[in-house]
A and B are shown apart, each in its own frame.
Chain A
Amino acid sequence: MPPLAMSLLQRVCQAGLVAWVVGTLTFVLTRTLPGDMAYRIAAGRYGHEQVTAAAAEAVRAELALEGSAVQAYLQWFGDLARGDLGRSLVSGQPVAGELQHLLGHSAQLAGVAIVMALLIGVPFGLASGLSRHRLLDRLGLALAVAMRSLPPFVIGLGLIMLFSITLGWLPAAGSGHLTHLWLPAMALALGLAAVSSRVTHHAMARVAASPFYAFARQKGLSARQALYRHGLRNVSVPVVAYLGVQLIYLMEGVVVIESLFAWPGIGHALVHAVVARDVPMIQGTALVLGLGFVLLNALVDLACRGLDPLRQTS
């Protein structure tokens, strides 16, 4: 099998695993709900006054809270396989419809964060990797260690305090306007940039010290020609490949940062659903996050393949 098809097949398998893990865990979740859960959920949906035995029964049926575990488990996956994610227990709306709306916001936030991170991290890493000054390397390292020691939500808190509360330049929470995007994207981007700059630094330093880079200069290319023709492509491969690792940081960050900034995306909805024990919504949001993770990883694979001719032939 050609390597490209092989790696895509692996990603498809991973997507299957995501669906299985998320489906199974949320199924277990429904089975561990306390006895009066159906009433509470019904109360959440219709209001306390209107809870009737019939409404609770409807919830029970929807979640398949009764019957044998095996049968319910099969039915659960049957629904999942048909793409039927059910209705939110809180809003009563179909989960699939809500997800579409949420996904757009999350994708926007994540995309802006990645672009910002690369715009900050890569030039800094290139400069410090090419420079012979130890100071720049040390400074970059110290900054990166500090950033890694601060989770994105702490960075986010700091940004809110500085830009919203103290300076009053940008809104702290909400959505709908471009200004709402800056702080959450920045909170995610700073941590990503710290890592990107170090990966770029090491890749650039390794390329600059490599025999082929020295040979490029010695056969007569100028420093700039050697960098453009032999440096950047070789640096870009590990930088892009490492984006795959950074996706984990991004996904985890999205969940927490959206909650902090009340950004109406998937992560925010997932946290809300967990708090409200809205099982179909938990399943839907976790599934989308997991599949998004797989899809982005597949894109990183493809990008690496495009950049690195070695992977095309081997």
Chain B
Amino acid sequence: MTPLMEVRNLCVETTQPPIHTLLHPVSFTLHAGRPLTLLGETGSGKSLLAQAVMGTLPPGLRARGDVMVEGRNFLALPARARAKWWGRHFALLPQEPWHALDPTMRIGAQIEEGHRLVAGRSRSAAQHATDQSLMRLGLADCRRHLPQALSGGMAQRAAFAAARTTEAPIVIADEPTKGLDSTRRDEVVTLLREALNERSSLLAITHDIDVARQLGGDIMVVRDGICLEQGEARTVLDAPRSEYAKRLIAADPRHWPAPASPAPASAQPVIEGRTLRMKRGNRVLFSNLSLTLSPGEIVGLTGPSGCGKSTLGDILLGIITPDEGHVHRARGHAPLRFQKLYQDPPAAFAPHWTLHTLLEDLCARHRLDRGRIPLLMTRLGLHARLLQRQPGQLSGGELQRFSILRALLLEPVFLFADEPTSRLDPITQQDTLALLTDVAREHDCAVLLVSHDPALITASCDRQVVLSG
């Protein structure tokens, strides 16, 4: 069988001296019906590979090597000629479909223009083809909708229809499941698998091990612009050879070690919500909801997006008042000892000051013992020189550990952790979450941990609460 695309020694480097190589030479072959998945963290250079193949690298970067398609070296073609292959030989599924659709044009028109202008169909044939594809993708009602009226999953399907008006044989999907919850993610994978047949194939780029597993075919693991290993999906995922691939796969919450045996529930709960009820607009988020947390207990909170997980936590913290019911806190704890960890660590710090200044402010405000800062920093694996930096100059994982430190300085009895690791890479996520649960248990602090990933909750919590939405 002749391959659809053969990539030989493809690398990406800067055009201006000093020349940096951002993607080291990789070679692979894409066969019809057999997907290839690039797996790696953000910043690993995997998106550069997709751009290099398509010929859409940003100015200042250039690709070298061969991309052989239909017996011609696509990379050697001039830019103008390459653009003519887009949509005809290559179909690119964009990273964020919501932003990839023209916000001012109706969905039907955005698909139809491809059938007419790219595939060269007559107006009526294009209309017919548009209706067909919308119907097949379950979007029949959305023909006259604007992209903003679509959900993330629907937008992904619409973009898919718009990109494949000519049934281009090579489908490139760059992080197609970014920002989708697990149900939507599975839908997209199903959609992508439909593109696989005897004439076409898929090059998928993802950080999500589950997506790689579901797609099957071949896998390449990329880190820092270097391809660490490649091979059949099942082999790589079940028996990784490179150190990094082992860690990456172990960082999947499903492979995490079982949590420590739950702390014995003490008689005195530290915080308790009784018969809570909350509405948003006309929708009841939850009603008659009661929950208690004991000292040192890690409780998971899951549910689909928009089901009121954050709202529940904010009610417990007293930031929001519930429509009905009330929150009871154990006696003798200052309000300061009930704290929150935020989803986006940089958003929880004043951006213009060094961490030293911010921690110093906190110690001065509450007359805290400054001597605990170095001890806690050691415990959390934070280097002392980070104190002199501003929040924006730290990585997300480091900053989230600083917010844990900041909360610990106040000797908390309850922490509401609102998806504290969802913006972190898998390995950092595992490390950060392990630290959080460990120090919370050490300090006898109760934690309400929100996540949209049930596996993560199962792996790190003593028990869990599920909101159905």
Which of the candidate stretches A11-19, A108-116, A225-233 sits at the interface with the other chain?
A225-233
In the bound complex, CA of A308 to CA of B102 (Å): 11
Residue of B nearest to A221 (CB): B117
Residues in B202-241 with C-beta less than 8 Å from chain A: none
Partner of A220, one of B54, B95, B99, B118: B118
A71 at the interface (CB under 8 A from B): no
In the complex, A219 has a CB within 8 A of chain B = yes
Q: Is A169 in the interface zone, CB < 8 Å from B?
A: no
Question: Is A132's CB under 8 angstroms from B104's CB?
Answer: no
| Separation of A215 and B93 alpha carbons in the complex (Å) | 8
Asked if B343 is an interface residue, CB under 8 A from chain A, the answer is no
- Given that A210-B99, A212-B99, A214-B56 are known contacts, is A219 also in contact with B162, CB under 8 Å in the complex? yes
Taking the closest CB of chain B, its distance from the CB of A210, in whole angstroms, is 7
Could you say which residues of chain B place their CB within 8 Å of the CB of A216?
Answer: 102
Number of A-B contacts (CB under 8 A): 84
CA distance A214 to B99 in the complex (A): 10
B residues in contact with A214, CB < 8 Å:
56, 94, 100
* B17 within 8 A of partner (CB): no
Stretch among B80-88, B252-260, B272-280 lining the A interface: B80-88
Which secondary structure dominates chain A's binding surface? helix
B87 touches A215 (CB 8 A): no
Interchain CB contact under 8 A, B163 and A218: yes
A313, chain B: closest CB distance, angstroms:
6
CB distance from B121 to the nearest CB of A (A): 13
A225 and B100 in contact (CB under 8 A), knowing A215-B94, A220-B88, A220-B165? no
Interface flag for B408 (CB, 8 Å) = no
**A219 x B163 contact (CB < 8 A):** yes
User: Quick one: which of A26-73 are within 8 Å of B by CB?
Assistant: none
Residues of B within 8 A of A211 (CB): 94-96, 99-100
Q: Is B94 a contact partner of A220 (Cβ separation < 8 A)?
A: no
B95 with A218: CB separation less than 8 A: no
Size of the chain A interface, CB-CB below 8 angstroms: 26
Q: In the complex, A176→B463 CA distance in Å?
A: 87
* B464 contacts across to A, CB distance below 8 A: none
Q: What are the residues of chain A within 8 A of B94 when measuring CB–CB?
A: 211, 214-215, 218
Q: Which residues of chain B are within 8 angstroms of A230 by Cβ–Cβ distance?
A: 102, 105
Nearest 9 A-B pairs (CB), nearest first?
A220-B87, A220-B118, A215-B100, A211-B99, A218-B92, A219-B87, A212-B102, A211-B100, A230-B102
Which residues does A use to contact B, with CB under 8 Å?
A: 132, 210-212, 214-223, 225, 229-230, 233-234, 237, 307-310, 313-314
Q: List 17 A-B contacts (CB under 8 A).
A: A210-B99, A211-B95, A211-B99, A211-B100, A212-B99, A212-B103, A215-B159, A218-B54, A218-B163, A219-B162, A219-B165, A220-B86, A220-B117, A220-B165, A229-B113, A230-B105, A310-B103
Name 7 extra pairs, CB < 8 A, besides A212-B100, A212-B102.
Answer: A215-B163, A218-B56, A218-B90, A219-B165, A221-B114, A234-B104, A237-B104
